[in-house]
Amino acid sequence: MTDRKATLSVGDKSIELPVYSGTVGPDVIDVRSLVQHGVFTYDPGFVSTASCESAITYIDGENGVLLHRGYPIEQLAEHSDYLEVCYLLLKGELPTAEENRQFHETIKNHTMLHDQMRNFFHGFRRDAHPMAIMCGVVGALSAFYHDQMDVTDEHQREITAHRLVAKMPTIAAWCYKYSIGQPFVYPRNDLSYAENFLQMMFGVPCETYEPNPILAKAMDRIFILHADHEQNASTSTVRLAGSSGANPYACIASGIAALWGPAHGGANEAVLEMLAEIGDESNIEKFIAKAKDKDDPFRLMGFGHRVYKNFDPRAKVMAETAHEVLGELGLENDPLLKIAQRLEKIALEDEYFVERKLYPNVDFYSGIILKAMGIPTSMFTVIFAMSRTIGWFSHWNEMVSGDYRIGRPRQLYTGSTARDYPQK
């Protein structure tokens, strides 16, 4: 923070506004006093507005930097696991060995769903989208834990965090099992977080599921790389919902609903749809030409990023993981995955893409990995939501832990002025 001021001229009036500096990143101008002068800022999409103060995640899109509590995402993906990253996001510091052990044990002890929730799943149509089911089930958790939702109680908030992180894989896997008509598979406390999710997805009661360590590691990395991404649409939705004092389960459900939009959480699903549209390696040159034609509506999905004007720091980790998974499963010659690998090579070498910094992003590689593992595209955003839950909760928890007010954005009104109702 500094004592610097910015001066805004509005007509013949000059307004002094405080300028603040964070630990890193651009300075911000405090415009809260503008309402006293009868004017507001106008910023559709809030792309130039800092809606909050946060110490959780920092992104430098120009230089391809993503930090969680100061730690680079690449280092966390290499040395940590998802539950340790959850602890870091929630608590602010990496756990000691004992704290890490206790946190892992606590999460394992909360993985079961209340048995009545089985009936809740059966209330949905079998062909319902898994995100629709997840949104409903997560919101319904508030009906099962209504006695421990005092948002002012730090201990109750911590218990809620444990429940959400622990139960989301069970909810996600059951969404899938219900959609294909297979019996629900219960969590196993002898498995890691990622292994447990895979066994609930692909295990069946008549056989013992043996997790593949390479696939489990890949899944854990996907969880880490999607755990948080600063003030995006869904995180901002969770914060805005929480600003009214709404219970945390309702707030997380609102984040799931926002993530469901194709402009947000559906990017890796769009990658697979694009690969299917291209259809064959022989068609790649034609589609590359379409992508370069500014008058053609076709766009290469999974290349470039709205935030990162350089290489997505998560993409390098995902690229390495993708090649490990394809090698393990022997899928190097899968037709769609061959198209993806060829597109990757073109994007990294073609002058058109290099000049515009249209590098493959995390969605490009995560879509390939999930497809190779046999996960249907309808589950991609569900897995994203499951991973992002800790980020949403950490931001919600940070907000309700301090002084906050209910969100109330203003508008530029362009409708009719006051008029009388016509006489009949």
Active-site annotation, residues = 264, 305, 363
pLDDT over 70 (residue 2): no
Q: Quick one: pLDDT band at residue 235, thresholds 50, 70, 90?
A: very high
**pLDDT tens per residue across span 86-109:** 999 999 999 999 999 999 999 999
CB neighbour class for 39 (10 Å; exposed up to 12, middle 13-18, buried from 19): middle
Q: What is the DSSP string of 63-118?
A: TTEEEETTEEHHHHHHH--HHHHHHHHHHSSPPPHHHHHHHHHHHHTT-PPPTTHH
Q: Which residues pair with 27 in a beta bridge?
A: none
Q: Quick one: pLDDT band at residue 343, thresholds 50, 70, 90?
A: confident
Q: What is the pLDDT of residue 64?
A: 87
**pLDDT tens per residue across span 250-296:** 999 999 999 998 778 777 778 888 888 998 888 999 999 998 888 98
The tokens for 9 are 């001229």
User: What is the mean predicted confidence (pLDDT) over 65-83?
Assistant: 96
**pLDDT tens per residue across span 346-403:** 888 888 888 888 888 888 888 889 989 999 989 999 999 999 999 999 999 999 998 8
Q: What is the DSSP string of 241-264?
A: HHTTT--HHHHHHHHHHHHTSTTT
How many CA atoms within 13 Å lie on the side-chain side of 25? 21
356, 359, 360, 363: CA torsion to nearest 10: -70
